[in-house]
Structure 1
């Protein structure tokens, strides 16, 4: 979801495992708090922190108060970037005060008096119903203990009765969760003799209690300075020391959807969501897998903290309901009546995505329905009783639940009804016990009002327990009632084949209706008797045989922009139809303003290709969406109307079922001013999407999000950068190759070409070799005549180094100064544009005699460089990482700007566009000189990078030895990092610009255009581009 354009502001940090370990040695995780603006929030999100580790509250002026769990190095890096956060209670002494006030409830897993000892004692004390089971061992060899509870537990074969598993502390710091599982175990064991309902439950079911799924990590959180550790204790760098670069997130390590993307889990060992080196790599993961394979439980309740949520269903992709959600939702309740008071029931990916998680895997692999209750935060628990010793402001983090018996017991008690209801549902899961009294219906019909075809598939989600399910329909309310068979839909190209153990999507087909007919549809089946679904009626509004549908999403009834009163229909629809007709393609139309969102089966599914265009529409907004309440601020371009979310999902469903898409618009893949910090744009209140977004408490939870995942993973555009000026487009690949078109014409009067989108292809970020499910995303066209601070200033190409942390990128060549004297004033000249983390990342021009050791950096003749040493040079971390800097810098406090062979001169910060620079080479006159343009970065964050163009040797007699990179890098070379520096993950390369000038991206099923067809200057150009796009998708013959 989070996509930060590499050319805009801060680039996403990149770190090698080795560099992470070196940088983080001796570091630890802490909670930090402070205030920041939207750019700062984007920088925090770009670190890849788990959303549960980030708490945000809106303030005035678009600022926000944040609490986030970070390493010390991350916090220092944020401070350098202008995000000033302070360590919380642990460093203020309040932690010791709170510990003194605590009841001593929380305790380690291992050792005398630990939780493991209690589990052993409880099993011994209840031999008739409890059995202690070691399900496996940890990285450090500790036993992972479970207690199996059922009548005759030690004689009954595991898994022979309906089973429910209760799991805590997969994440080490979530101390409230072992207490939840432990107390539930104690109450079940102690209540068996006196509570008839508990006795009946235990006699007929298996209950498995695993209070601590991560014993190593949990015990580690009881050691000094490690309270906020999350992962297991895998020694990733094998150095024998546990640092923040170690450990694997056990809730990202399972096989199903492992590594689907790098947002739902991380490939970086230093990340708290590191997914591990391979699927199921961790012994703790393997232990759970073996247990679930042996007992195939009906349910898992996987306790986490801290967010007060009840999560279920698909987590790896946003907005993906599944058949079994009918059952899940009956059990968790809804926003108005949740199964756990104060918790928010949601599909797992509503707030953020996860992949390789436990719940998804156990349902896919074993048919086990999984719930994740996210338990209370420290702050919410501390606020329960204003007269007790606990103050929310004293909380070190959301995870530090108060060590208070009364508060812990209260949090436990409000979770008990749901926990027991899950177990009581195991014998008959599709007719569950619901705390909120919600019944599971036999049928949930996917209704729609309009059809564009006479042969119309209709879908229903139905209980698998039903027999003889059929679809019935009647045309125009008279005549015969037709009875047709149904078939189970097995899913599409990417989704639809999961979470269907107790419910399934069935489809029947209406045949014989004609244009203008009204068709009423319902479904029937039998379990204990005849069951009928609700009926719905649709109208066949179109029955053409065209294979292309044009979806006009101009939003002429909206406010961004506001249209003249006389505009009551799409302005540019005819231009699109004409462009298609010129290619011999007939098309039907759908006007979103007038007709609403087209149903993926009722409308879109009747076509092979959809052309979805925006026209002048910047963002689909009704008047209430124009400004979004964000604390006390009113933010523009922060929300869209909910129909845009529903339209996006309908188109995604269409693609999933084999459709092809051309999506065009100047603001296609634009997600507003909060896009980089949120990973999308708001579209309504959580639980009430029809109401406008208002952020009053939590920017990540108050409102719903139209995520940028669709643009990234279906359209192939990882990020978008706006270009303010371009003359036209030129096709570069596939069917668009050779195409040339200028911008202009009447449409550009009302909508000038001033923010066309340049895209970063997804394939540049997620390698198709490791993420084959996305396929390649190919740049298919580029902008002509585009200009900007990070686009080549001369010709089409420059040499660019895009930011990467821990790097020394070098661009080198040798100049022959033979025959020149100092009087000839030889100088290296080039045009440069740079954007670096000021003071910490630097561009330097190095010089030496070829092969010599007389290294130095050169001052710029006009004063653009500075001899100021790098910020925090005295701390030593930059010199330790890049020892070759000792040529120019001497460590110490103060650090000085001369070194073993030369002096320090650098460019840092932002150049504010292209600068024509000169560097004096007269000291090398009469011989040769090796010149190197270097970009040197530290371990944390940065700007866009540097681009070099128009290089030349300047003398009193003129310019010579020019090289502008139009024919390649030569005579420049890229030698890589100097000895001693970490291996570069990026380096100088030929470039069309930082952020690029890619105007179109093609995937197997889509063509994305960063401009509107209507913005092309001629009918012929529009026809040529429309035809090329259709040929690219195989929609018309070449």
Structure 2
């Protein structure tokens, strides 16, 4: 598909803007304001948090994203919170946007032991399997670049057997610096196992669905992110890149649908949004894609619905991200309306803002787009708590874990409910589900 016209008008409805409760992010100190073409002072070449003003719509935001930065949040007034290296900042300023720099507070960025490490995730899964052998089964679907087992957990009334039931997939932590998503995985697994037999709704859903939870798809990245005295603000995997000293690939720009098509990712290995050398070139993406493909039985994909959890911004997003168009090649009106209606239903439950992914800015090579276009899976990206950097950004205090993961219990159950026929939500079950 061609790239969207750079001067086209992006859709403005359903755009999500979240207002910061403080003037700067994560306890940072305001350093200064820069005009177009000015340079941001920096101690080194490490990425830092900056604010960008003057982006009026999704086209402007896409222009900024194409410099290779990570846009972390769009605030109420249109100001962007961006993770950017000094060279990226210069490029953004050269485009005519105003940039304000801030430096992270070491105290605010200190790793929180209340978050679950990868060894603790594995231990928790092993405990669930031991305690609920008739409900929970885990399998290793691959190894990470550094050799860690990648786990998929199946929850069903007969979890060691492939059954003729609709399957649902929940994935977490493609981006390492988003530890709340791992806690969401733990919450889903605990909710379904603890509720089975005592909660009628959960019991029925577990009996009539096969539920897959990938609790951490990027364990190398998450373990590195928590490895120092401060969080490392690490987004990518930890794999080597040929010809570069920069490590890692942005998993959520490495998927095979419209990979690198539309300026929604970076070809620079040093960028936070580096798309990799080829589709599925990241070890972890290839393994997860192979796992999803393995759920095809007799030419039919058994996974019908999915959520990929991220932070932050409190959004429910759906395909496509590579184009501003709602109806495009591979997405007809009924299919779009189904995503929209399910997204809005779930957002009504958790208080998030629902919208098409590209309503923020163009991305390409995302799991969101691949799951639908390549596998026909109705799917969503959840950007979890917080809604503002003042509440912790990527690293909110662990005392919010209970409340903020519970907030998504109802949306998870709603998606499970519609897994038998997502088109039921628009009244088209006879047309699409027979």
Tell me if the contact between 1:54 and 1:67 (Cα under 8 Å) persists in the aligned partners.
Answer: yes
User: 1:480-629, aligned counterparts within 5 Å?
Assistant: 502=432
Name the CA shift for 1:176/1:134 in 2 (closer, same or farther; >3 Å).
Answer: same
Alpha-carbon RMSD across the aligned residues, in angstroms, is 3.3
Q: Alignment partner for residue 427 of structure 2, among 413, 419, 441?
A: 441
2:252 counterpart SS class = coil
Secondary structure, aligned partner of 1:311? strand
Distance, in Å, in 2 between the alignment partners of 1:325 and 1:226 is: 38
Q: CA deviation at 1:279?
A: 1.2
* 8 Å Cα contact 2:309/2:382 also seen in 1: yes
Counterpart in the other structure of 1:349: 358
Q: What is the CA distance between 1:366 and its match in structure 2?
A: 2.2
Q: Structure 1's 212 and 259: CA in aligned 2 closer, same or farther, altered over 3 A?
A: same
Which residue of structure 2 lines up, in the alignment, with residue 331 of structure 1?
A: 342
Residues 814-963 of structure 1: pairs in structure 2 closer than 5 A:
none
Cα 1:344–1:65 shift into 2, 3 Å: closer
- Mapped partners of 1:314, 1:46: distance in 2: 17
> Take 2:102 and 2:187, find their aligned partners in 1: how far apart are those partners?
36
- Secondary structure at 1:184 match in 2: helix
Matched ranges for 1:246-257 at <5 A: 246-257=247-258
Alignment correspondent of 1:169: 173
Please name the residue that 2:407 is paired with.
414
1:597-647: CA deviation from partner (whole Å, max 9, x where unpaired):
xxxxxxxxxxxxxxxxxxxxxxxxxxxxxxxxxxxxxxxxxxxxxxxxxxx
Between Structure 1 and Structure 2, the one with more strand by share is 1
Shift of residue 257, structure 1, vs aligned partner: 1.0
The equivalent of 2:85 in structure 1 is 71
**Distance across 1 between alignment mates of 2:340 and 2:100:** 41
Alignment partner, residue 274 of structure 1: 274
1:227 aligns with 2:232: yes
Give 2:186's aligned residue.
Answer: 182
Pick the aligned partner of 1:401 from 393, 396, 405: 396
**Whole-Å separation in 2 of the counterparts to 1:351 and 1:259:** 18
Cα drift, residue 86 of structure 1: 2.1
Equivalent-residue separation in structure 2 for 1:325 and 1:187 (angstroms): 30
Deviation at 1:350, TM superposition (A): 1.8
TM-score, L = length of structure 1: 0.34
| Distance (Å, rounded) in 2 between the aligned partners of 1:223 and 1:299 | 34
8 A contact 1:2–1:46 mirrored in 2: no
Specify the alignment match of 2:379 in structure 1: 370
| SS of aligned partner of 1:219 | helix
Instruction: State the match for 2:32 in structure 1.
Output: none
Query: 1 CA distance for matches of 2:281 and 2:341?
Result: 35
Q: Which residue of 2 aligns with 1:206?
A: 210
**Match of 2:201, SS?**
helix
Shift of 1:365: 2.4
- Give the direction of change, closer, same or farther, for the CA distance of 1:37–1:129 in structure 2 (3 Å limit): closer
* More helix as a share of residues: 2
Distance 1:201 1:37, change over 3 A: closer
Task: Report the 3-state secondary structure (helix = DSSP H, G, I; strand = E; otherwise coil) of the residue aligned with 1:361.
Answer: helix
The alignment of Structure 1 onto Structure 2 pairs a total of residues equal to 383
CA contact (8 A) 1:30 1:87 kept: yes
**For residues 424 and 373 of structure 1, what CA distance do their matches in structure 2 show?**
18
The 1:70/1:148 distance shift into structure 2, 3 A limit, reads same
Shift of residue 106, structure 1, vs aligned partner:
0.7
Cα drift, residue 83 of structure 1: 3.9
Tell me: CA distance 1:204–1:305, structure 2 relative to 1, closer, same or farther (3 Å): same
Question: Scaled by the length of structure 2, what TM-score is found?
Answer: 0.78
Q: Aligned equivalents of 2:66 and 2:283: distance in 1?
A: 30
Shift in alpha-carbon separation, 1:419–1:41, aligned structure 2, 3 A: closer
Greater relative contact order (Cα < 8 A, sep 6+): 2
Query: For the residues of structure 1 that align with 2:281 and 2:216, how far apart are their CA atoms?
Result: 19
SS of 1:426 mapped into structure 2: helix
